[in-house]
Amino acid sequence: MATGIVSRALTGTGAHRLSQLLLGGACLLYGVLFAATVTKAARYPDRLASELRDPAKVFGHFTFVAASGVLAARLTGGPARHAGWVLLTLAAAVWPLLAACVVRNLRTDRRAAAERADGTWFLLTVGLQSVVIALTGQRPGAMSTFVGLLLWCAGVVLYTVTLAAIVRRLLRHPPGPARFTPVYWVTMGAVAITILAGTRLLARPDLPRGPPHDLLAGSVLALWVWATALIPVLLAAGVWRHLRHQVPLAYESALWCVVFPAGMYATATARLAAVQHLGALASATAPLAWAATAAWLAVQTRYVTSRLRWSGGAGA
10-residue mean pLDDT series, the chain (316 residues): 89 90 92 91 93 90 93 80 89 96 88 85 96 87 90 97 94 88 94 97 88 92 98 95 89 91 96 92 93 95 84 54
- Looking at residue 83, its pLDDT comes to 87
Residue 19's alpha-carbon distances to 8, 11, 14, 23, 25, in angstroms, are 7, 6, 9, 6, 10
> How buried is 129 (Cβ within 10 angstroms: 0-12 exposed, 13-18 middle, 19+ buried)?
buried
Find out whether 107 and 99 touch, Cβ atoms under 8 Å: no
- Looking at residue 230, its pLDDT comes to 97
φ/ψ bin of 160: left (φ > 0), alpha (ψ from -120 to 50), beta (otherwise): alpha
- Looking at residue 313, its pLDDT comes to 57
- Looking at residue 311, its pLDDT comes to 61
- Looking at residue 285, its pLDDT comes to 92
- Looking at residue 316, its pLDDT comes to 47
- Looking at residue 125, its pLDDT comes to 97
Q: Structure pTM?
A: 0.94
**Cβ atoms < 10 Å from Cβ of 112:** 12
Q: Which residues contact 70 (CB under 8 A, 6 or more apart)?
A: 1, 4, 5, 8, 130, 133, 134
* Assigned fold of 2-203+211-304: Glycosyltransferase (1.50.10)
- Looking at residue 312, its pLDDT comes to 59
53-90: b or e for each residue (b if 16 or more CB lie within 10 Å)? eebeebbebbbbbbbbbbbbbbbbeeebeeebbebbeb
